[in-house]
């Protein structure tokens, strides 16, 4: 039928496994590119997700670097802890365009991580730079899955900030109160 997948590759006893294809060609999509084949399905989201994973790691490093005079640790599940007390996570929200060219962001909050604060970094329409930030305290109740639009309810917009500087300001205010 002119279509191939990792599952079909693994079912063929005469050919290489899908992991061999991934190892040799960098994945099935790269193998397609080498033979000038364009699949019917749009797989750009894979490249976007890959770039966002790199950006997520860079964002964590950048934010942690900004938190000065504090002990910062990052667990394997990306839970960031400041001075063994305040915990937060950083979630990058990929922009998806609707058929009417409106931007939408689907955010899944991982309740198993149990952070004090979730920082949602809403990406611009090209998913290249942050558009804005939502700083959500865990003390307030939010759905596990948030469907964000370009403009959201007033209640939710109270948590929206144009940049992350307010978070650092909150941290420095908190330090002064403790001292």
Q: How do residues 102-137 score in pLDDT, each as one tens digit?
A: 999 999 988 888 899 999 999 999 999 999 999 999
**In a 10 Å sphere around its CB, with 0-12 CB exposed, 13-18 middle and 19+ buried, how is residue 118 labelled?**
buried
Mean pLDDT across 5-24: 83
pLDDT at 176 over 60: no
Q: How confident is the model at residue 9 (pLDDT cuts 50, 70, 90)?
A: confident
Comma-separated ranges of CATH 3.40.1350 domains in the chain: 47-178
Among 16-25, 66-75, 88-97, 167-176, whose mean pLDDT is lowest? 167-176
Query: What is the model's pLDDT at position 100?
Result: 95
Which residue has 């019917």 as its token pair? 40
pLDDT at 36 over 60: yes
- The two tokens of residue 27 are 């994945």
Rounded distance between C-alpha atoms, residue 126 and residue 173, angstroms: 34
Q: How far is CA 17 from the centre of its chain?
A: 30
Spell out the CATH class of 47-178. alpha beta
Element (H, E) at 178: helix 165-178
**Bigger pLDDT: 177 vs 112:** 112
């Amino acid at each position: 039928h002119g279509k191939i997948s990792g599952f079909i590759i693994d079912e063929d006893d005469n050919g290489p496994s899908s992991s061999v294809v991934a190892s040799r060609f960098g994945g099935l999509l790269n193998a397609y590119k080498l033979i000038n084949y364009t699949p019917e399905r749009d797989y750009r989201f894979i490249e976007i997700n890959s770039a966002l994973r790199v950006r997520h790691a860079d964002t964590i490093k950048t934010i942690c670097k900004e938190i000065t005079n504090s002990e910062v640790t990052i667990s394997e599940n990306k839970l960031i802890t400041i001075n063994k007390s305040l915990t937060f996570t950083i979630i990058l929200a990929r922009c998806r365009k609707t058929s009417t060219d409106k931007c939408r962001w689907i955010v899944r909050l991982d309740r198993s991580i149990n952070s004090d604060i979730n920082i949602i970094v809403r990406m611009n329409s090209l998913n290249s730079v942050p558009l804005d930030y939502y700083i959500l305290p865990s003390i307030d109740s939010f759905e596990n899955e948030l469907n964000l639009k370009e403009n959201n309810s007033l209640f939710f917009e109270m948590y929206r900030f144009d940049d992350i500087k307010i978070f650092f300001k909150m941290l420095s205010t908190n330090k002064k109160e403790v001292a």
